[in-house]
Amino acid sequence: MKRRDFLATAGVGAAAATLAAPAIAQGTIKWRMVSAWPRNLPGPGVAAQMLADRITALSGGRIQVELFAAGEIVPGPGVFDAVAEGTAEIYHAVPAYWGSKSKGILLFGSQPLGLTAIEQHGWMLHGGGQALYDEMYGRFGLKPFLCGNSGPQWAGWFRNEVNSLDDLKGLKYRTTGLNSEVCAKIGMAVEAMSGPAMFQALQSGALDAGEFIGPWSDSALGLQQVAKNYYGPGVGEPSSAEECAVNAKAWTDLPDDLKMAVEKAAESLYNPVLTEYTTKHALALRELTTQHGVTVRQLPEDVIVAMGNAMGEVIAELRASNDDLVRRITESFLAYRQLMVEYMPHADSGQMIARGLSYNYGG
């Protein structure tokens, strides 16, 4: 996917906003899905279309979902409000974008030095996360579901090398969600913007660095053209969940079997989306390093430790919130994270260490 192919639709205005109300005829329900992404953006733009198609298929065509990319009905940052207000029936985005609604929402998307993609899904399905997710979004007239995950994101693209924590002081850096708060606490000048806007800002020098997602999506935006130092690990987002949310009335109006179809469409995409990201990130990184002169670098240890301490301060603030629900979400997240901290050294972490040892394994 070339950068121009999906950016061609990224600037489409809101002239298409005047649309008919959702049609219900001969047992067919027509839903508009608004997304936070340019159409066909590798990663989330592709996943949004997959979700629209999956809901239509699993409902036996009784719910027909039409996808509208960012700007085609509302701008990407407006999809939450558009669905809450009934302008559209469902959106596709990430929880990391909705911190202005409630800081508690951010924990459902990504947490610096927090949960991996599988752990995040485990918290939702088996650790009490979904009930809290429903309670929080219910305040805004929405029924939410996780429907994918990018896996580990990257620390991002830097115009200059980073050798210590001091190199980050005052650095103009694009990021989102709780990572914004963490980076601000360690002295970075954080800015929020879309992926395409990040390209322009890096190109002009308005940004010194920034992260978007990972190699597959980032290379489609052309970020390798404006910065050559690509830093990992992305401890600010060890995973980033994608979500959909349905307007509460549209959800309530569905019969139980169609509610199940929507729920299973979202749940069934979580792993396919995650594994597509993982596979295509790996392929894209190989191309970036062998064909585009990109140098992969690692964040210094003092930066990672500082980010961990900063996240500890963020957690303390969430625990001290005046909002009981935010406090309950925080404690639930922390309890599940601790469970995984205890278990994973014997499971995934142990396997990764073993795989990294030196032995002959077929070349």
Q: Is the pLDDT of residue 20 over 70?
A: no
Give residue-wise pLDDT tens across range 218-271: 999 999 999 999 999 999 999 999 999 999 999 999 999 999 999 999 999 999
Q: Which of 101, 99, 107, 108 is nearest to 81 (CA)?
A: 101
Residue with tokens 């929080």: 136
pLDDT in the model for residue 26:
55
Q: Is the pLDDT of residue 1 over 90?
A: no
Superfamily of domain 156-237+296-355: Periplasmic binding protein-like II (3.40.190.10)
Grade residue 4 by pLDDT with cuts at 50, 70 and 90. Answer: very low
Query: Comparing 22-151+239-280 with 156-237+296-355, is the CATH topology the same?
Result: yes
Q: Which of 101, 94, 103 is nearest to 178 (CA)?
A: 103
Per-chain mean pLDDT for the chain:
93
Average pLDDT over residues 299-307: 98
pLDDT in the model for residue 21:
44
Average pLDDT over residues 57-79: 97
90: β partners: 33, 246
CB atoms within 10 A of CB 289: 15
Give residue-wise pLDDT tens across range 311-334: 999 999 999 999 999 999 999 999
Q: What DSSP line would sit under 189-240, residue for residue?
A: EEE---HHHHHHHHHHTS-SEE--S-HHHHHHHTGGGT--EEEE--TT-S--
Of the two residues 21 and 329, the one the predictor is more confident about is 329
Percent of the chain's residues with pLDDT above 70: 93
pLDDT in the model for residue 262:
98
33: β partners: 67, 90
CA pair distance 124, 107, nearest whole angstrom: 11
Of the two residues 69 and 362, the one the predictor is more confident about is 69
CA pair distance 94, 214, nearest whole angstrom: 15
How far, in Å, are 42, 133, 269, 325, 331 from residue 273 at the CA level?
11, 21, 6, 30, 28
Q: Which of 130, 125, 84, 90 is nearest to 107 (CA)?
A: 130
CA pair distance 327, 41, nearest whole angstrom: 35
Give residue-wise pLDDT tens across range 194-231: 999 999 999 999 999 999 999 999 999 999 999 999 99
> DSSP alpha helices (H): ranges in the chain?
3-7, 44-58, 79-84, 103-106, 117-126, 129-138, 177-185, 195-204, 215-221, 248-252, 256-291, 301-319, 324-343, 348-355
pLDDT in the model for residue 362:
87
Per-domain residue ranges of the chain: 22-151+239-280, 156-237+296-355
Give residue-wise pLDDT tens across range 127-160: 999 999 999 999 999 999 999 999 999 999 999 9
Q: Which of 327, 152, 304 is nearest to 241 (CA)?
A: 152
Q: Is the pLDDT of residue 14 over 70?
A: no
Q: What are phi and psi of 28, to 5 degrees?
A: -105, 130
Give residue-wise pLDDT tens across range 94-129: 999 999 999 999 999 999 999 999 999 999 999 999
Does 233 sit behind a cis peptide bond, omega within 30 degrees of 0 on the bond before it?
A: yes
CB-based contact 210:173 (threshold 8 Å): yes
Give residue-wise pLDDT tens across range 175-199: 999 999 999 999 999 999 999 999 9
How is residue 18 written in tokens?
A: 């005047």
Superfamily of domain 22-151+239-280: Bacterial extracellular solute-binding protein, family 7 (3.40.190.170)
Q: Which of 13, 35, 179 is nearest to 96 (CA)?
A: 179
Residue 153's SS3 state is coil
**85-118: string of b/e by CB count within 10 Å (b at 16+)?**
eebbbbbbbbbbbbbebbbbbbbbbbbbbbbbbb
Q: Is the pLDDT of residue 347 over 60?
A: yes
CA pair distance 221, 223, nearest whole angstrom: 6
